[in-house]
Structure 1
Amino acid sequence: MKASVKWVSDELFLGTSESGHSIVLDANNGELAPSPMENVLISLGGCSSVDVVSILKKSRQKIAGCHVDITGTRVDSIPKLFSDIHLHFVVTGRDISEKQVERAVNLSADKYCSVALMLNKSVNITHDFEIIDQD
């Protein structure tokens, strides 16, 4: 897997993936685009969500939606690494099993999400979830 990042102007950068997709990064506190560290959170949330949705579908849960709110806490010293990240999954659907959602979230965190497994070596990652039943 390869990617490139090109300086565009001031503190704006253009990241391009090997598959040809691009994202804009803003090193100036994310004024014009997400900062690189915000993208780490988005990547973690995306990777985890893919797993959770896939696992719930395979377990025949009637999910209609899934989103995750991610909160990252950074240390005060430079470099401002993440010390803690919390993921809060919200799963919507009909007759969703709490046991199945818990299983999906745990499997993602402990076994499948590459981003979480990489970050786990230096960041305390926690998660929880809620289920919203759509009648």
Structure 2
Amino acid sequence: MKARVKWLDGMAFVAEADSGHGIVLDGSPEIGGRNLGARPMEMVLMGLGGCTAIDVMMILGKQRQPVQDCWIELQAERAEVAAPKVFTKIHLHYVVVGEGVEAKQVERAVKLSADKYCSVSAMLKEKVEITYDFEVRSATGSETGA
């Protein structure tokens, strides 16, 4: 796997992956950025969310769970030191929507992703405290979860 990050101007860069997909990265205005794109640490957090979301949806699909919608809300805390301001804690809250989706199956999918399949999580959990919970919502609004 390869990627290329090329400077545009100021603190803005274009990052392109082997797949040919690209994104704009930029720093905050406080360091000279113009807010043209996501910050690199935001990309790490979104990468974690994307990796585990794919895992969970694949597992729930194999379990034939009738998922209508799914999202993950991630919240991270960073070190208080001057630099590097690494993540110290990340919490993931999974929300799965669907009539008849079983909470037990969602719990299993989330746990398998966290413990076995998510590559990003596997890299981060050596240094970051990662916690998670989930809820299952029906399209009519009732909830279950852990």
Instruction: Give 1:32 deviation, angstroms.
Output: 2.1
The structure with the greater share of residues assigned to strand is 1
Matched, 1:115 2:131: no
User: What is the match of residue 25 of structure 1?
Assistant: 25
Q: Tell me the C-alpha RMSD between the 2 structures.
A: 1.1
User: What is the match of residue 47 of structure 2?
Assistant: 43
- Residue by residue over 1:30-59, the C-alpha shift from the partner in whole angstroms, topping out at 9 and shown as x without a partner, is 722110000001000000000001101101
User: What is the match of residue 111 of structure 2?
Assistant: 106
Matches of 1:28 and 1:12, distance apart in 2:
10
Instruction: Give 1:19 deviation, angstroms.
Output: 1.4
Pairing of 1:1-135 with structure 2 (within 5 A):
1-28=1-28, 31-77=35-81, 78-135=83-140
5+ residue gaps, structure 2: 141-146
TM-score (norm 1): 0.96
What is the number of residues matched between the two proteins?
135
Greater Rg by CA? 2
Amino acid at match of 2:14: L
Which has the bigger relative contact order, CA under 8 A and spacing at least 6?
1
5+ residue gaps, structure 1: none
Over the matched positions of the two proteins, sequence identity in percent amounts to 50
User: What is the match of residue 144 of structure 2?
Assistant: none
Matches of 2:19 and 2:65, distance apart in 1:
32
